């Protein structure tokens, strides 16, 4: 198509974006919003109860938190952009134009957020006494700005699954305020506060505190965490309701992880166990007589990280075969463009084909354009494992009926001849394995 | 050429406004980036001088200098977002093409940024708490600065490639490597950026400094870096594209003039031993930076604008080509959205029917394309467990794929449908044909001498048979209707090792079918 192709060495394209995005979600939710909220809460409690311990607790957290937000959180966020620019330029380019203004405003708010954070950080020791109230208010404004950036970006994420009437009417409001927007935003904010509580409790556990303060602070963060957890569960169910059934049907399958598809009950059990760890963490924090163990706190943070990763993974998988439902398939082909490619050919309409394909079989080029956004050759979602054991004519037939056979895959883009070329290429790719692959009858 | 399609062709801002915003946003971003890099370089240099025992650097300047680093890094990152957004929508083709060509370096920038910033923040923290400095701080600082210096290398490369569309074909053919001509341009520009970082960093530190000694040294550093920039500037002139506009020449003239006057003013103040006013330093920095960046911009526009115009023109045509497909595509999408949760019949229709046919007789629309024809499912009599195993593994060397993307519950829906519609889990139908004792004897001999070579005596498949691709079916678990069996014995199964045996008398074929059914172990 219009842009050159990129293939991430070693880990493949899909895993590259997944790693960066999950890291960013953990930091932007858990540290920037959640961490910010618990720091400001600590300062507020310090001021209200004239407690130097609360004050010191917040003060200790602010510098590392600032570094994490600025040096890791922000670059991973921009990183999502960097990575999608090379692996899915058409998708990110289209989303950028459709949501130009939210993105532009998000940049302004983000700049404001960082300015407030820096002022908050540098004035902590200076705005004391009567000015302390002002400092707390400044902190709240900072956290508010962080939440606002989430509110601006979630509209775009929601659109990528529930594009509502946009494919027909192209109205911005429909695209941004789509059916899964509000539930997802509430879910994310609840998630952020919960992660923030875990962050605070880990600080509490691994820093020097008096026993009395630790007990008192645990109860506070335990209560906030419980509230956040309720929000997460309710908003999660609400979010599920907002998704069309056809996407939910392939929720597990579209992950591309066979174990998950074949063992939904085991997955449920694992999630239940993780949920139990999270609940244990909340309950232990709330019980007056129970001293929370460090292992429970660490366990809960691991469980929370796994939940976050799982949610983002499922959300990103579920939207398949689309990246912009009703408009663009996950492989960057426009829904209206696919029949055109079937007629006119993909290679002839790939601007860079003649240059890039020097020394590259055309089948590989067709693979890169049609499949490489989700499949890698080797690594995660290995295409060789998917077509192993199939003869060339079988692959050809499967390619021609892909969107029907596997409902979360886009249709093949290209002429009949190109379909044959890709089938032969994939067959050659797997021929070596085919014999050793024990098959059924 | 169809680089801009659909939304990529919508401009949220008029081109000129986008360009103006892009320039301003980039200017702001660059000021902080340069000050950040310069600051890290200056601090580390002071630190190294201190550790090597140079008497002049006995004060804790390295720590003083580094203190605002977190502010600089924060704004460098945050203010970089706007230019990224504006260049992506303003010069879509140039931007994406260049960064994809340099994809590996481009994505590694994220890691470089994180590593550089975290290391340098830790370095700052170390030297703040122990000003004497440790070896650990030195390692953090050196590694941090090293990573930090790599970052502009990637960005400069992306810009150099984006600005030179005439070289894209060469870059593409080289598989993402940059041809020699561009490599020299890249090197000169990269060195120019580092010089600018020292200049701006020193200017920034001059503004912050209170110690006259330190101030003096920052002035010297500014002069030194300005002279260095002059030398690199000469080199840059030789690698610049030919035939630049008068506008570019004029801007460059102003920039050079600003450098000469600015450096002269700095030198005068150093000679007089009197520090310059902060506003004067800030004015000098901006007076040089602004025309320099405008020059850069006008050269960049030369490479960017024509690409934008040609791709826009092509896009209009392409949009017209696609128009006829718009309506049907939307209608198909709507149908998909309105689809209820699929049941077994619906799953069969979408995943199986194109090969096995709407009547499950193996005559799907794609069956003609296959050397080994799809099975007639309606003739199959087997068990759920066996069918499940078959569907999970697929059949080697046939189009029968594995359907591991269906959950066990979803597969069961399909099996339920097949059983309800075609009774696949019913017991095999008995043979009603009369078979003589003689035919049975012949059949037994045939099985032992011929069939069992592949099918095995017990019908589960011989060692040899199981090595075939596809292997014979397992008759202990599976059979097809007797009439169909007799048909396969007579005609063979196309594309497989199952040959046709038209010479076997009809009655003996029925005898063989009876033997096969007798080998069935598991009953549904």
Q: Which of B69, B76, B81, B411 to mutate to test the interface with A (most CBs of A within 10 A)?
A: B81
Cα A380–Cα A382–Cα A384 angle in degrees, nearest 5 = 165
The pLDDT, as a whole number, for residue B175 is: 74
d(CA A253, CA B483): 39
Residue B265, min C-alpha distance to chain A (Å): 34
Widest distance between CA atoms in chain A: 81
Residue B92, min C-alpha distance to chain A (Å): 7
- Beta carbon pairs, A and B, within 8 Å: 291
Indicate if the pLDDT at residue B42 is higher than 90.
Answer: yes
pTM: 0.91
Contacts of A408 in chain B (CB under 8 A): 405
Q: Find out whether B207 and B281 touch, Cβ atoms under 8 Å.
A: yes
Residue B509 burial (10 A CB sphere; 0-12, 13-18, 19+): buried
Nearest to B102 by CA among A3, A132, A306, A338: A3
Structure tokens at A421: 């070329």
Chain B contact for A112 (CB, 8 A cutoff) = no
CB spacing of B399 vs A167 below 8 angstroms: no
The pLDDT, as a whole number, for residue B65 is: 93
Chain B contact for A252 (CB, 8 A cutoff) = yes
Task: Compare CB distances from B89 to A67, A100, A117 and report the shortest one's residue.
Answer: A100
CB spacing of B118 vs A67 below 8 angstroms: yes
Q: Find out whether B26 and B76 touch, Cβ atoms under 8 Å.
A: no
User: Is residue B2 classed as helix, strand or coil in its secondary structure?
Assistant: coil
CB spacing of A336 vs B326 below 8 angstroms: yes
Enumerate residues 6+ apart whose C-beta is below 8 A from A55: A42, A43, A46, A47
Enumerate residues 6+ apart whose C-beta is below 8 A from B99: A82, A85, A86, B106, B158, B162
Q: Is A291 left (phi over 0), alpha (psi -120 to 50) or beta?
A: beta
d(CA A24, CA A28): 6
pLDDT in tens, chain A (441 residues): 678 888 888 787 888 899 999 999 999 999 999 999 999 999 999 999 999 999 999 999 999 999 999 999 999 999 999 999 999 999 999 999 999 999 999 999 999 999 999 999 999 999 988 899 999 999 999 999 999 999 999 999 999 999 999 999 999 999 999 999 999 999 999 999 999 999 999 999 888 989 889 889 999 999 999 999 999 999 999 999 999 888 989 999 998 888 999 999 999 999 999 999 999 999 888 887 666 678 888 999 999 999 999 999 999 999 999 999 999 999 999 999 999 999 999 988 777 777 665 667 889 889 988 998 888 887 778 899 899 999 999 999 999 999 999 999 999 999 999 999 999 999 999 875 544 444 444
Annotate B26-80 with DSSP letters as a single string: HHHHHHHHHHHHHHHHHHHHHHHHHHTT-GGG-SSHHHHHHTTHHHHHHHHHHHH
User: Is residue B382 classed as helix, strand or coil in its secondary structure?
Assistant: strand
d(CA B197, CA B150): 13
d(CA B131, CA B327): 70
Chain B contact for A80 (CB, 8 A cutoff) = no
* φ, ψ of residue B442 in degrees (nearest 5): -60, -40
**Chain segment B414-473, per-residue pLDDT in tens:** 999 999 999 999 999 999 999 999 999 999 999 999 999 999 999 999 999 999 999 999
Q: Which of residues 142-201 of B touch A (CB under 8 A)?
A: 168-169, 172-173, 175
CB spacing of B366 vs A1 below 8 angstroms: no
Task: Compare CB distances from B371 to A110, A393, A439 and report the shortest one's residue.
Answer: A393
Residue A290, min C-alpha distance to chain B (Å): 37
Residue A110, min C-alpha distance to chain B (Å): 7
Contacts of A97 in chain B (CB under 8 A): 7-8, 10-12, 89
Task: Compare CB distances from B10 to A97, A264, A440 and report the shortest one's residue.
Answer: A97
Chain A contact for B500 (CB, 8 A cutoff) = no
Lowest mean pLDDT among A343-352, B146-155, B281-290: A343-352
Radius of gyration for chain B, computed over Cα atoms and rounded to the nearest angstrom: 39
**Chain segment B186-225, per-residue pLDDT in tens:** 999 999 999 999 999 999 999 998 888 888 889 999 999 9
Work out whether strand A328-329 and strand B478-480 pair parallel, antiparallel, or are unpaired: unpaired
Chain B contact for A130 (CB, 8 A cutoff) = no
User: Is residue B381 classed as helix, strand or coil in its secondary structure?
Assistant: strand
Work out whether strand B380-382 and strand A328-329 pair parallel, antiparallel, or are unpaired: unpaired
**Chain segment B236-250, per-residue pLDDT in tens:** 888 776 777 888 889
Structure tokens at B453: 């070579």
CB spacing of A97 vs B7 below 8 angstroms: yes
Chain A contact for B105 (CB, 8 A cutoff) = no
User: Is residue B480 classed as helix, strand or coil in its secondary structure?
Assistant: strand
Structure tokens at A131: 């000015």
**How many CB atoms within 10 Å of residue A237?**
11
Nearest to B169 by CA among B180, B179, B183, B156: B179
Enumerate residues 6+ apart whose C-beta is below 8 A from A337: A413, B5, B322, B325
CB spacing of B6 vs A94 below 8 angstroms: yes
Enumerate residues 6+ apart whose C-beta is below 8 A from B188: B232, B235, B236, B239
Q: Find out whether A36 and A196 touch, Cβ atoms under 8 Å.
A: yes
CB spacing of B96 vs A20 below 8 angstroms: no
CB spacing of B395 vs A439 below 8 angstroms: yes
The pLDDT, as a whole number, for residue A291 is: 67
d(CA B325, CA B121): 55
Query: What is the overall mean pLDDT for chain B?
Result: 91
Task: Compare CB distances from B100 to A3, A117, A253 and report the shortest one's residue.
Answer: A3
The pLDDT, as a whole number, for residue A358 is: 63
d(CA B414, CA B344): 4
List C-alpha distances in Å: A20 to A74, A133, A254: 11, 38, 20
Contacts of B89 in chain A (CB under 8 A): 93, 96-97, 100
Higher pLDDT, B349 or B127: B349
Annotate A236-302 with DSSP letters as a single string: HHHHHHTS-HHHHHTTTGGG--HHHHH-HHHHHHHHHHHHHHHHHHHHHHH-SSPPPPHHHHHHHHH
Task: Return the C-alpha torsion angle B432, B438, B439, B441, nearest 10.
Answer: 110
User: Is residue B492 classed as helix, strand or coil in its secondary structure?
Assistant: coil
Task: Return the C-alpha torsion angle A375, A376, A382, A386, nearest 10.
Answer: 40
Q: Find out whether A158 and A178 touch, Cβ atoms under 8 Å.
A: yes
Q: Which of B5, B411, B413 to mutate to test the interface with A (most CBs of A within 10 A)?
A: B5
d(CA A178, CA A102): 14
**How many CB atoms within 10 Å of residue B511?**
27
CB spacing of A440 vs B389 below 8 angstroms: yes
Q: Which of residues 138-177 of A touch B (CB under 8 A)?
A: 167-168
Chain A contact for B24 (CB, 8 A cutoff) = no
d(CA A90, CA A92): 6
Residue B452, min C-alpha distance to chain A (Å): 17
HEC profile of A169-182: HCCHHHHHCCCCHH
Residue A161, min C-alpha distance to chain B (Å): 12
DSSP assigned state of A73: I
Contacts of B370 in chain A (CB under 8 A): 393-394, 397
HEC profile of B10-40: CCCCCHHHHHHHHHHHHHHHHHHHHHHHHHH
d(CA A364, CA A384): 13
Q: Which residues pair with A382 in a beta bridge?
A: A376
List C-alpha distances in Å: A369 to A90, A145, A254, A381, B176: 12, 39, 19, 16, 17
Which of A423-437, B41-55, B266-280, B477-491 has maximum average pLDDT? Answer: B477-491
CB spacing of A405 vs B366 below 8 angstroms: no
Contacts of A70 in chain B (CB under 8 A): 70, 73-74, 77, 117
Q: Which of residues 405-424 of B touch A (CB under 8 A)?
A: 405-409
The pLDDT, as a whole number, for residue A328 is: 95
**Nearest residue in chain B measured CA to CA from A114:** B74
Q: Is B515 left (phi over 0), alpha (psi -120 to 50) or beta?
A: alpha
d(CA B217, CA B226): 14
Residue B17, min C-alpha distance to chain A (Å): 14
Enumerate residues 6+ apart whose C-beta is below 8 A from A335: A167, A322, A326, A327, A328, A329, B329, B330, B332, B333
Q: Find out whether B200 and B285 touch, Cβ atoms under 8 Å.
A: yes
The pLDDT, as a whole number, for residue B2 is: 54
List C-alpha distances in Å: A411 to A1, A387, A400, A415, A416: 16, 16, 7, 12, 13
Side-chain-side CA neighbours of A162 within 13 Å: the count stands at 22
CB spacing of B71 vs A441 below 8 angstroms: no
**How many CB atoms within 10 Å of residue A335?**
25
CB spacing of A78 vs B80 below 8 angstroms: yes
d(CA B483, CA B502): 15
Q: Find out whether A376 and A13 touch, Cβ atoms under 8 Å.
A: yes
């Amino acid at each position: 198509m219009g842009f050159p192709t990129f293939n991430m060495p070693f880990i493949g394209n899909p895993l590259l974006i997944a790693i960066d995005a999950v890291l960013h979600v953990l930091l932007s939710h858990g540290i920037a919003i959640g961490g910010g909220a618990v720091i400001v809460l600590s300062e507020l409690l310090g001021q209200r109860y004239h407690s130097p311990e609360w004050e010191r607790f917040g003060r200790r957290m602010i510098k590392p938190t600032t570094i994490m937000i600025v040096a890791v959180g922000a670059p991973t966020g921009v990183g999502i952009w960097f990575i999608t620019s090379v692996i899915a330029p058409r998708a990110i380019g289209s989303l950028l134009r459709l949501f130009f203004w939210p993105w532009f405003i998000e940049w302004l708010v983000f700049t404001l957020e960082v300015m407030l954070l820096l002022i908050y950080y540098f004035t902590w020791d200076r705005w004391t006494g009567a000015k302390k109230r002002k400092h707390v208010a400044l902190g709240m404004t900072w956290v508010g700005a962080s939440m606002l950036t989430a509110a601006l970006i979630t509209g775009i994420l929601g659109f990528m699954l529930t594009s509502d009437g946009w494919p027909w009417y192209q109205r911005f409001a429909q695209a941004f305020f789509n059916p899964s927007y509000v539930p997802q935003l509430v879910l994310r904010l609840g998630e952020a506060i919960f992660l923030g509580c875990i962050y605070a409790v880990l600080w509490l556990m691994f820093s020097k505190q008096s026993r009395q303060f630790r007990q008192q602070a645990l109860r506070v963060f335990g209560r906030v965490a419980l509230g956040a957890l309720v929000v997460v569960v309710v908003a999660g169910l609400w979010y599920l309701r907002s998704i069309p059934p056809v996407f939910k049907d392939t929720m597990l399958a579209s992950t591309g992880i066979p174990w998950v598809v074949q063992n939904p009950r085991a997955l449920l059990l694992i999630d239940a166990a993780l949920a139990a760890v999270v609940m244990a963490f909340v309950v232990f924090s709330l019980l007056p007589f129970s001293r929370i163990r460090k292992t429970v706190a660490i366990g809960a943070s691991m469980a929370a990280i796994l939940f976050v990763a799982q949610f983002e993974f499922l959300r990103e998988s579920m939207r398949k075969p689309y990246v912009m439902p009703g408009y663009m398939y996950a492989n960057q082909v426009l829904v209206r463009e696919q029949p055109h490619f079937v007629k006119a050919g993909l290679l002839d309409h790939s601007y860079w084909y003649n240059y890039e394909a020097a020394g590259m079989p055309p089948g590989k080029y067709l693979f890169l354009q049609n499949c490489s956004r989700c499949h890698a050759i080797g690594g995660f979602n290995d295409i060789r494992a998917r077509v192993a054991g199939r003869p060339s004519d079988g692959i050809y037939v499967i390619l021609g009926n892909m969107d029907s056979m596997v409902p979360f895959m886009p249709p093949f883009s290209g002429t009949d001849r190109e379909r044959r070329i890709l089938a032969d290429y994939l067959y050659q790719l797997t021929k070596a394995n085919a014999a050793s692959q024990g098959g059924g009858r | 050429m169809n680089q801009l399609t659909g939304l990529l062709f919508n401009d949220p801002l008029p081109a000129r406004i986008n360009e103006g915003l892009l320039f301003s946003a980039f200017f702001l971003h660059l000021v902080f980036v340069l000050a950040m890099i310069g600051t890290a370089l200056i601090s580390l240099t002071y630190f190294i001088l201190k550790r090597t025992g140079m008497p002049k650097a006995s004060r804790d300047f390295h720590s003083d200098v580094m203190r605002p680093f977190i502010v600089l890094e924060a704004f460098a990152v945050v203010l970089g977002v706007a230019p990224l957004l504006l260049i992506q929508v303003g010069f879509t083709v140039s931007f994406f093409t260049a960064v994809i060509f340099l994809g590996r370096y481009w994505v590694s920038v994220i890691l470089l940024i994180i590593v550089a910033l975290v290391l340098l923040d830790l370095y700052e923290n170390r030297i703040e708490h122990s000003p004497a400095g440790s070896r650990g701080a030195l390692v953090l600082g050196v590694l941090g600065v090293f990573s930090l210096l790599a970052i502009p290398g990637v960005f400069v490369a992306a810009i150099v490639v984006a600005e030179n569309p005439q070289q894209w074909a060469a870059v593409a053919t080289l598989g993402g490597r940059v041809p020699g001509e561009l490599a020299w341009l890249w090197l000169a520009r990269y060195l120019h950026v580092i010089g600018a970082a020292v200049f701006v960093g020193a200017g920034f530190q001059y503004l912050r400094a209170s110690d006259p000694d330190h101030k003096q040294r920052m002035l010297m550093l500014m002069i030194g870096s300005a002279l260095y920039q002059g030398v690199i500037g000469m080199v840059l002139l030789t690698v610049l594209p030919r035939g630049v506009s008068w506008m570019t020449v004029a801007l460059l003239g102003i920039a050079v003039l600003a450098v000469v006057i600015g450096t002269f003013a700095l030198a005068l103040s150093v000679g007089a031993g009197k520090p310059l006013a902060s506003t004067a330093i800030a004015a000098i920095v901006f007076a040089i930076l602004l025309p320099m960046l405008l020059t850069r911009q006008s050269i960049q526009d030369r490479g960017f604008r024509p690409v934008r115009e040609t791709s826009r023109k092509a896009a209009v045509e392409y949009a017209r080509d696609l128009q006829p497909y718009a309506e049907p595509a939307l209608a198909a999408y709507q149908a998909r959205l309105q689809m209820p949760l699929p049941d077994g019949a619906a799953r069969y229709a979408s995943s199986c029917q194109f090969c096995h046919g709407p009547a499950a007789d193996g005559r799907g629309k794609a069956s003609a394309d296959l050397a080994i024809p799809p099975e007639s499912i309606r003739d199959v009599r087997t068990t759920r467990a066996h069918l499940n195993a078959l569907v999970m593994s697929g059949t080697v060397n046939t189009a029968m794929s594995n359907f591991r993307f269906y959950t066990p519950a979803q597969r069961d829906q399909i099996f339920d449908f097949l059983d309800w519609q075609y009774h696949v889990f019913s017991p095999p139908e008995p043979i009603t044909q009369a078979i003589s004792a003689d035919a049975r004897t012949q059949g037994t001999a045939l099985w032992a001498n011929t069939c069992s070579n592949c099918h095995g005596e017990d019908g589960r498949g011989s060692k040899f048979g199981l090595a075939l691709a596809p292997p014979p079916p397992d008759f202990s678990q599976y059979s097809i209707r007797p009439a169909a069996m007799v048909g396969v014995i007579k005609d063979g199964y196309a594309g497989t090792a199952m040959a046709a045996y038209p010479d076997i008398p009809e009655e003996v074929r029925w005898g063989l079918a009876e033997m096969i059914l007798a080998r069935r172990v598991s009953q549904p």
